[in-house]
Amino acid sequence: MPASAPLRLAIFDCDGTLVDSQHAIVAAMESAFTAMALVPPSREAVLSIVGLSLEGAIARLAPEQNPALISELAGHYRSYNIRIRESGEAFDPLYDGIAALLDRLAAEGWLMGVATGKALRGLRHVLATHDLAHHFVTLQTADGHPSKPHPSMIEAALAETGVEREHAVMIGDTSFDMLMAGAAGVRGLGVGWGYHPPDELVASGAASVAMDSAELARHIGLR
């Protein structure tokens, strides 16, 4: 009997890769800093830290602040997101072609996962909003892992699915995603529609950078 094909796993970042969440992230950060009577960081500064776990991201934006104030800022950020989710205002649009790409991956037998700096509650909201939860067999979030680029999220996804690292890819829009992929020993595929520029992704170890979903499908190796 011929040997069966190995399991394959595509791990996606969320913000900036699956969905365009920049407006919500910037608004939440502005709300948090304003609540603490601090000058909010620029949009460019906020987008540069997307992908990191929340406290680490805020610490980069406000390096002069002490850990207690960083924690308070994070609390305000979370409260803002909870409020807009409960009010129905939270909506992060899918990038063009993502839904079809996930369908193609499923049709070709790929397992799929998410590795994100979001909290699990926020990730589940995004997946439910776009009816995507059924595609993902492993969800790795900031709740249970060190911040990217630590490889913990990828290691957990591989362990949960039983996929060998040579048959897995990490797909993301930031240098943190590519560095995490390298630390975990999996192929990193960058996307150019997110929050870090393509040359930064390549410098951080991306095997390639796709500028649209059709190009990403080719880089993944879909037929």
| CA 218 – CA 114 distance, rounded (Å) | 20
Whether residue 143 is found in the same domain as residue 34: no
DSSP string covering 16-73? TTTB--HHHHHHHHHHHHHHTT-PPPPHHHHHHTBTB-HHHHHHHH-TTS-HHHHHHH
pLDDT of 223 over the 90 cut:
no
Q: Is residue 197 part of a domain?
A: yes
Count: domains in the chain: 2
pTM score: 0.93
Nearest to 125, CA basis, from 83, 76, 75, 85? 85
Nearest to 171, CA basis, from 199, 190, 157? 190
Averaged pLDDT, 174-178: 97
- CB contact burial 161-174 (16+ within 10 A = b; e otherwise): bebebebbbbbbbb
Q: 199: domain CATH number?
A: 3.40.50.1000
Q: Is residue 4 part of a domain?
A: no
Q: Is residue 167 part of a domain?
A: yes
Q: Is residue 3 part of a domain?
A: no
Q: Is residue 2 part of a domain?
A: no
Q: Using one digit for the tens of pLDDT, what is the confidence trace for 85-142?
A: 888 887 899 999 999 999 999 999 999 999 999 999 999 999 999 999 999 999 999 9
Whether residue 99 is found in the same domain as residue 67: no
**What percentage of the chain carries pLDDT values higher than 90?**
93
Whether residue 99 is found in the same domain as residue 77: no
Whether residue 29 is found in the same domain as residue 103: no
Averaged pLDDT, 165-172: 98
Whether residue 154 is found in the same domain as residue 173: yes
Of 87, 106, 125, the residue that ends a domain is 87
Of 67, 87, 107, the residue that ends a domain is 87
* Contact residues for 41 (Cβ-Cβ < 8 A; gap 6+): 29, 33, 61, 62
Averaged pLDDT, 172-180: 98
| CA 140 – CA 122 distance, rounded (Å) | 12
pLDDT of 204 over the 60 cut:
yes
| CA 7 – CA 110 distance, rounded (Å) | 7
Q: Look at the alpha carbons of 57, 152, 101, 136 in this order and tell me if their dihedral is positive or negative.
A: negative
Under DSSP, the state recorded for 115 is E
Contact status, residue 214 vs residue 95, Cβ threshold 8 Å:
no
To the nearest 10°, report the CA torsion of 160, 201, 221, 182.
Answer: -40
pLDDT of 3 over the 70 cut:
no
Question: How confident is the prediction for the chain on average, in pLDDT?
Answer: 95
Whether residue 124 is found in the same domain as residue 200: yes
pLDDT of 65 over the 50 cut:
yes
Q: Is residue 26 part of a domain?
A: yes
| CA 103 – CA 9 distance, rounded (Å) | 14
Whether residue 204 is found in the same domain as residue 194: yes
pLDDT of residue 46: 97
Q: Is residue 215 part of a domain?
A: yes
pLDDT of residue 189: 98
Q: Look at the alpha carbons of 52, 54, 60, 66 in this order and tell me if their dihedral is positive or negative.
A: negative
**Which residue range(s) make up the domain with 157?**
9-20+92-220
pLDDT of 2 over the 70 cut:
no
Whether residue 31 is found in the same domain as residue 121: no
pLDDT of residue 1: 35
Of 50, 68, 87, the residue that ends a domain is 87
